[in-house]
Structure 1
């Protein structure tokens, strides 16, 4: 898949803010939400498909939806009862089956009025289908508004977006790189990617300058995106980048630089074992769309004949509102464990206060009249009412991070992930190795077969020269003895033979890690986290291929790696797209204040990537 990086100079908005504004506007019947108004919101129902659900859920909580008057949110294809006196806001992809279901809703007269919002632009023929159904159902006046929202991408953070979560296998690395792909399939994949990127820039309200390498999928996407943007700009009256259409125009005083890169420029990083909190959660737990799903209460084996007990699944949302998460998601794991422990100790000191507040509020006894009897004690009650929710929320977040960090630590210890991380960092930064690769592969206690395969692939990808045939056979034997599937290696061998990188392996800079000696406070006996045997590694700055490419292009530096990159400016006349105007820099002169936003066609972890490499290697 294409790894995308958009750089915009310091602009007053982020992707998250722009998407948030667009969604809230849509949920307010496509009118700007009124600020500081005491008026009750209009009650309404929200009907979405899985695509719409994935776009909304990382950004708006159930409470926020309720505050905007959404009393009920339902999937389009679920069984829904009529609610004839309430307006319905639909947020769906304009697919054949979705349109059929909307027409069925009109026939069944489910709601008072219909506000139809399509995630991607709806075609004229499908719009006519809805019009015919509304006419037949005598519901023309009830279809109040039909909007194209151009929100066909998922914003995960203020500097991170992905193109889709549903059907992501259709635009995956495997889909693009399989040997038997037809031209028509490739066209369809590129169109899907371009549609999402077009939506991204419409929402941002900015026309990008596009840069990409030649001769791969990234170039195909760039050419198509440039064409789509040009076509939209040509029709000035209906252009999505002028006037008050959505958020367009609000933020367009600066042009973003949009760098499109193919995944193949850096195959080692997605396989790399990680050491920071967010990256570890993504690597070892079930983490997608900002939500961690963990199985709890494995329990004893059920007795013969008894029905097996269902494992309870616990979900945790890691959101921007969680200050601990915002502060520590990029921190090395040992630091996180220490901070969780400190938070826990602080909370324990406040626990007596919570008990006192609960008793003031009568929350301990069963007597419901307890609070009303406290009318003479209003001052105490007022302070309890304001402090208790805050303390209970703090406790919820501490419990969340204690559970998540403990689960991560179990993986680190059982798989020796600190050993893998340290060794891979040395491989990638060409540092001297303190032990041999074969030792780790052959150690039955070090990691899963997949961990060993990841390590070997990183060695193979980053090696200045490929191992000799006899060495390779020795490694293969050790991998097979460790029950590794060799299919990913088959594919990486082909890939390395085909790419130019075979001659010049991607340079990963002189990064690396340094051990910091034993843990301090975390090692004390009262700690939740028993970190014995786990190395306290501290990160050093990486200089990965994508970072370098970006730096070269942002600063207009001449460099063999990027000198050949194509240049597209959809606002300029044709014929100038390939030569870079050297005299003027379309970005701010100073480096400070640049904001970098990352996006990708799919956000896989190493395990999912290995599966795709394995499928490609079996062909």
Structure 2
């Protein structure tokens, strides 16, 4: 199940002018291909072109093609659709964009202005007849219709951080889907539509109509499942599904039906709030700690590595300092091109460090032996010249991981993440309260910043160790506020601050000092007073921040209590609401989604403190993986907890008319999944998935030979981002 290979096949098709022949291509206004010849057997990969993309398409294509490869494909200029662009006479343009009116207006304007010789328009989703008419009318009215060389659609509405990972690039999806208040219903409907469209695009690329399993009769996952099933059951989807098989095969993603998936796959949709603790808990694996401590792209494929040892760096400089100073280098984390990352990303951090040291030493030993052999009498210089470049490239990648691991370890030590990880695995109320008050788990010293402590409190609040009473929640919130006033001094630049903000802070302090000198005050006394004032202001700000984050603790506990006790009621028509983007949604839609998760009790979520490297024991398997295993008919993973979570799995088959009729009546089948057990499964987290959870799901797939398991989510998120969303849901506002 290689999502990236399938999507890449469609993107290549677009970049090759959708495989136009020589005569058609010349008529469309493109320059002759160097060397001429027929396009048969040698597609238009080398024809010169300008690549124009909207924001979403730029994110998608950047993961599929490095800049150097785009140049080899003839796309020497990569431009943003909404930017001011200069004319490039005599050269065609390949547009890749969402089918929106704004995009159509811009394309029509480009054609009228004659910026390029021809416009090959590639939409990331199938346009409606109304959208096609709008583009045609806009081009005619602008006077540029003659330059429209073609209109095509390709399934490009998703991103692929890895071959078997999927991301829709939807930040703050949890806060959006569970919001209540004015405008919430419309936002929920729009988000559900985007989720359904993105997943539908992914399975269009794969070439299969999946069976669908969702958890519960209510909630975002159930609503998305219904909307997605309607998309997949539509006749238009089947038609495009068949037409795209030739493109998949031509792009190297061949196999039965154009994709080497084998039998029909199962899609398992899981709500983020079904196990909020796993999303909030502090991680222990290499990939998850990189996402936790470094500045990482939204899909986890690029990281900014601080130059901690740059000349002039302070000895106590942290990753946050380096990021604020701009002293970073961007590093790609692509398992397809980085063999060590592919091997070590899911390992416990300590194991990854040991593996990196061993592999680096092996490479250095091989390098020394190769150089010695080349310089010795009778040595093979040509053999050394052939083997040395690849060896040096491997060495450079391993040394880059040395720098990354050093930066991660610095943040782990500064925030006490290892202590937090251990405490979240077996929380006790006394130890949690000590950490929240800034005393440390064993009274030896404070650990974690406010965000870390709020996450710990949330994990405890939904664990079996908590009694869940209002008094206990008040106690947790009060302890968090008490500890805020005794936080250790932050790094010189707070994480996420900019150099401009840091400079502004420095100039403010300098101005205060100069003013006191002019007034004749003692400089040391003035500095002490300024420091005291700054400390008081900082403490006051920290207390306010603690109160804001405490809203997350209260919201998580309230949601857990309401979810566990909510009676099963008829499902609101979420599908209709989403189709209209909430225009006719019932007013209780937001509140219904917020209280949605039926049958999830404390015994389930208490297992959510990430246990990623110990899948052999049934109790440590991530709940999302358990849902997927139960839906797929996997007996190796074991049964679901006794909370009744297994019985709440809802199955929908878009290819079965009776199943779709049950969906329309609001009573889809809860029987076993049709066609199971499944060897191809995709687990999709509605509301954001963490690196640790993706690792857990991948490890489940590796437990049985022949199983293809993919994972995805509305975004690749972290515990820090999730606690911010929960604080906003609880009324604490955004940071």
The verdict on a shared fold, with TM-score over 0.5 as the criterion, is: yes
* Residue number in structure 1 paired with 2:17: 29
- What CA distance in whole angstroms lies between the structure 2 residues aligned with 1:263 and 1:466? 23
* Residue number in structure 1 paired with 2:328: 313
Q: Among residues 285, 289, 292, which one is paired with 2:303 in the alignment? A: 292
Q: What per-residue deviation string (whole Å, max 9, x for no partner) do you get for residues 189-224 of structure 1?
A: 211211111111111111111121211121211111
* Residue number in structure 2 paired with 1:185: 187
Structure 1 residue matching 2:291: 3-state secondary structure: helix
Cα offset for 1:596? 1.5
- What CA distance in whole angstroms lies between the structure 2 residues aligned with 1:617 and 1:512? 22
* Residue number in structure 2 paired with 1:76: 81
Q: What per-residue deviation string (whole Å, max 9, x for no partner) do you get for residues 89-108 of structure 1?
A: 11111223222221221122
List aligned pairs for 1:289-438, cutoff 5 A. 289=299, 290-296=301-307, 299=312, 311-319=326-334, 320-349=336-365, 380=381, 383=383, 385-427=385-427, 436-438=431-433
Q: Among residues 261, 269, 274, which one is paired with 2:278 in the alignment? A: 269
Q: Among residues 161, 167, 174, which one is paired with 1:162 in the alignment? A: 167
**CA spacing shift, 1:32–1:398, aligned 2, 3 Å:** farther
Question: Which sections of structure 2, spanning at least 5 residues, go unmatched?
Answer: 22-38, 250-256, 315-323, 485-545, 565-597, 681-703
* Residue number in structure 2 paired with 1:229: 232
Cα offset for 1:613? 0.9
The aligned length equals: 550
Structure 1 residue matching 2:709: 3-state secondary structure: strand
Structure 2 residue matching 1:74: 3-state secondary structure: strand
- 1:18 and 2:6 matched: yes
Q: What per-residue deviation string (whole Å, max 9, x for no partner) do you get for residues 364-411 of structure 1?
A: xxxxxxxxxxxxxxx84x556534432332233123211111111001
- Normalised to the residue count of structure 1, the TM-score between the two structures is 0.79
* Residue number in structure 2 paired with 1:278: 287
- 1:142 and 2:144 matched: no
**CA spacing shift, 1:64–1:555, aligned 2, 3 Å:** same
**CA spacing shift, 1:400–1:228, aligned 2, 3 Å:** same
- What CA distance in whole angstroms lies between the structure 1 residues aligned with 2:560 and 2:409? 35
State the Cα RMSD in Å. Answer: 3.7
**CA spacing shift, 1:63–1:214, aligned 2, 3 Å:** same
- What CA distance in whole angstroms lies between the structure 2 residues aligned with 1:321 and 1:589? 27
- What CA distance in whole angstroms lies between the structure 2 residues aligned with 1:254 and 1:242? 20
Q: Among residues 701, 704, 708, which one is paired with 1:595 in the alignment? A: 708
Q: Among residues 526, 543, 551, which one is paired with 2:621 in the alignment? A: 543
- 1:459 and 2:465 matched: no
Structure 2 residue matching 1:42: 3-state secondary structure: coil
Q: Is the 8 A contact 1:298 1:311 kept in 2?
A: no
Q: Among residues 507, 519, 532, which one is paired with 2:604 in the alignment? A: 507
- What CA distance in whole angstroms lies between the structure 2 residues aligned with 1:589 and 1:328? 25
* Residue number in structure 1 paired with 2:223: 220
Cα offset for 1:60? 1.7
Structure 1 residue matching 2:604: 3-state secondary structure: coil
- What CA distance in whole angstroms lies between the structure 2 residues aligned with 1:141 and 1:353? 64
**CA spacing shift, 1:188–1:513, aligned 2, 3 Å:** closer
Structure 2 residue matching 1:206: 3-state secondary structure: coil
Q: Is the 8 A contact 2:17 2:44 kept in 1?
A: no
* Residue number in structure 2 paired with 1:95: 100
- What CA distance in whole angstroms lies between the structure 2 residues aligned with 1:571 and 1:468? 47
**CA spacing shift, 1:122–1:174, aligned 2, 3 Å:** same
- What CA distance in whole angstroms lies between the structure 1 residues aligned with 2:245 and 2:453? 54
**CA spacing shift, 1:540–1:199, aligned 2, 3 Å:** closer
Structure 2 residue matching 1:439: 3-state secondary structure: helix
* Residue number in structure 2 paired with 1:255: 264
* Residue number in structure 2 paired with 1:131: 136
- What CA distance in whole angstroms lies between the structure 2 residues aligned with 1:465 and 1:40? 61
- Normalised to the residue count of structure 2, the TM-score between the two structures is 0.67
- What CA distance in whole angstroms lies between the structure 2 residues aligned with 1:464 and 1:262? 23
Q: Is the 8 A contact 1:422 1:513 kept in 2?
A: no
Q: What per-residue deviation string (whole Å, max 9, x for no partner) do you get for residues 288-312 of structure 1?
A: 23000244459579xxxxxxx9623
Q: Structure 1 or 2: larger strand share?
A: 1
* Residue number in structure 2 paired with 1:53: 58
